[in-house]
Chains A and B, each alone.
Chain A
């Protein structure tokens, strides 16, 4: 069933992030500086209070169902890839990949994810390292684990930051190949948070929203 990610207009000091939406299978780019990206994500992952008129909300509409941000259903339907924030250091890579399933009390999905783990680890090229403790890892491993988690969750929408920034060229090419393959396989919608319209991800965006810091936001019809 097609899902759409909606959010309300968000005021961050003098900056205004316009209300918008991302449909299943659609790629939308949101251009804004890093502090705004992190503030947007902080709001996005916080529980939303529908009863309060002033509360900012993001929700996923799937048919007649509305899953508000912060809810279990939202977390298991919206994947995230945050730059250098893909790992919990004191868990193994296997536990990191399975963490949302181990937390959200869904035995059926946990078993399914455990079955698919070997295949996903093979795609990511981390089969032999699955039981290693995460500890301090490169930006590349953080990005791979975030992507692996998305492959296991199979989200309707992925919210991604520029996870590739800071990768050495050989890892960058490898990551681009893996992520393109993964996006095609999943068919999910993508909300891409970037600081520059020339981010060079090579993705074909349906829309680009540019957030300026003087309360004016622009929207263009075509991304690239």
Chain B
């Protein structure tokens, strides 16, 4: 019995130590990335700006049609159900409030981050992992190139920036196109619908959209970059780290969403 307890305590202790060392590692990686990124010296380095443009193109531009397509589907479903519900209880003022608190504040940042994770997230871990397997990190260091500045910062910045922009695109497409399509087949005027949406949206909700729209992609990118850098020299570990990275990022954004909701509830 005592032996079993000791063994459980050992397991718990090693798990806690592992967790703390992982958090410490992620924290160190994030601070080193931020320090080279916010110094802004990368702006004058064509090698780095080239990677930034490529990442923005891959994450933002190539991901745009998917975001528009999903936003259209989600927008039509959300607007149709919300308008239907508001009409059934004969309170049209609910349209704006529900669209603002559900679609704008909760669904848009989450869906955009999930889309980014499934499209660019896996690619990010795989690309970084392959570079480590090939020993390209040593090649870069041999030329005096900072791995943080050349490999990690452009990906973090592109993921965060594109995440924020795509979140706004998602919101506009889902409200405008969703509202337009529903107004064609339903008993609601499109202008009245937009007026209700405007009435139900406050400045704080826009700020919350900016916070969530940038925080979730940033946290996801940090988790993915950490996983990509941990592949080492084992090519068969790339899919393992890609899966763990995406799942870890999903858990992280759901936890962050819950924490933000609790803080909002308390204030």
Q: Spell out A's residues near B (CB within 8 Å).
A: 38, 41-42, 45-46, 70-72, 74-76, 80, 82, 84-90, 95, 99-100, 102-105, 110, 149
Contacts and interface: CB of A to CB of B under 8 A. Distances in A.
B66 to A, nearest CB: 22
Nearest to A89: B134
Nearest to A80: B142
A80 B138 CA distance: 11
A223 to B, nearest CB: 24
A81 to B, nearest CB: 9
B6 interface: no
Interface string B139-157: 1111111000010000000
A42 B138 contact: yes
A104 B131 CA distance: 21
Nearest to B151: A88
Contacts of A100: 143-145
B80 to A, nearest CB: 44
Contacts of B142: 41, 45, 75, 80, 82, 85
Given A102-B50, A103-B45, A105-B44, A89 B136 contact: yes
A88 B139 contact: yes
Looking at A46, A75, A76, the one whose CB has the most chain B CB atoms below 10 A away is A75
B48 interface: yes
5 contacts: A76-B144, A82-B139, A88-B131, A88-B136, A99-B145
Interface in B102-147: 127, 130-131, 134-136, 138-145
* Interface residues of chain B: helix, strand, loop or mixed (majority): helix
B15 interface: no
A85 B136 contact: yes
Interface of B: 41, 44-48, 50, 127, 130-131, 134-136, 138-145, 150
A82 B41 CA distance: 28
B42 to A, nearest CB: 10
Residue from the set B50, B138, B139, B140 with the largest chain A CB neighbour count within 10 Å:
B139
B146 to A, nearest CB: 9
Contact of A102 (B47, B127, B139, B141): B47
A110 B46 CA distance: 10
B130, B138, B140, B143, most chain A CB atoms within 10 A: B143
Contact of B127 (A80, A82, A90): A90
A103 B142 CA distance: 13
A103 B138 contact: no
Nearest to A83: B135
B135 A104 contact: no
B150 A87 contact: no
A70 B145 contact: no
A84 B133 CA distance: 12
Contact of B138 (A41, A74, A90): A41
B47 A74 contact: no
A89 B131 contact: yes
Contacts of A70: 144
A191 to B, nearest CB: 13
Contacts of A82: 135, 138-139, 142
Contacts of B134: 85, 89
A103 B47 contact: yes
Contacts of B145: 75, 99-100, 103
